[in-house]
Amino acid sequence: MLLSSAGGMAVCLFVLGFSLRVSSSPSPGSDDAWWAAATSVTAASAFMATFSLGFGPVIWMYGSEILPLRLRAQGTGIGTAANRVMSALVGMTFISLYEAMGMAGTFYLFAAFSAAAWVFVYACLPETKGRSLEEMEALFDATQPSSSPPAPAPGRRDPRIIEDGM
């Protein structure tokens, strides 16, 4: 779902950038302005749809599938804070980017970030469909560098040692 969302967002932002570039320099006597305006509205709507299906609710959706119950509240809180900070960053830098790169260039940059997000999701985030929470925890534990397992608490026997009672 995240791959579809990131890919859809990248395509929509690229199309939006392209249509804004075309609309900023229409040829005399052509219908480029109408075509570009319709394409811009369609691309923006499609972007909102693809964002809402994946990257919009990602922290609540993916976080609940990968975080163990004891860490779920903290992880969701951190993810929500990161989501809000990134949204604020996009909002605060948009005007500066527009002035520096132009409207089309700004959306091309956002398309590149969305493409990078697709690569990140593909390379770093495992599929959770059909996996239990225990399987996900084991998967993430397996990716951590392992050291020697912790010793059992004093007074408790180590469950890894099998005693035959003799």
User: Domain holding 84: CATH number?
Assistant: 1.20.1250.20
156 domain-assigned: no
pLDDT at 162: 55
How buried is 115 (Cβ within 10 angstroms: 0-12 exposed, 13-18 middle, 19+ buried)? middle
Residue 115's domain spans which residues? 2-25+32-125
pLDDT at 163: 54
pLDDT at 166: 47
140 domain-assigned: no
Helix (H, G, I), strand (E, B) or coil at 164: coil
* Nearest Cα residue to 10 out of 108, 127, 136: 108
62 domain-assigned: yes
146 domain-assigned: no
pLDDT at 29: 57
pLDDT at 131: 76
pTM: 0.73
Measure the CA–CA gap between 49 and 56, rounded to whole angstroms.
10
pLDDT at 105: 94
pLDDT at 43: 95
Residues in the chain predicted with pLDDT less than 50, given as ranges, are 166
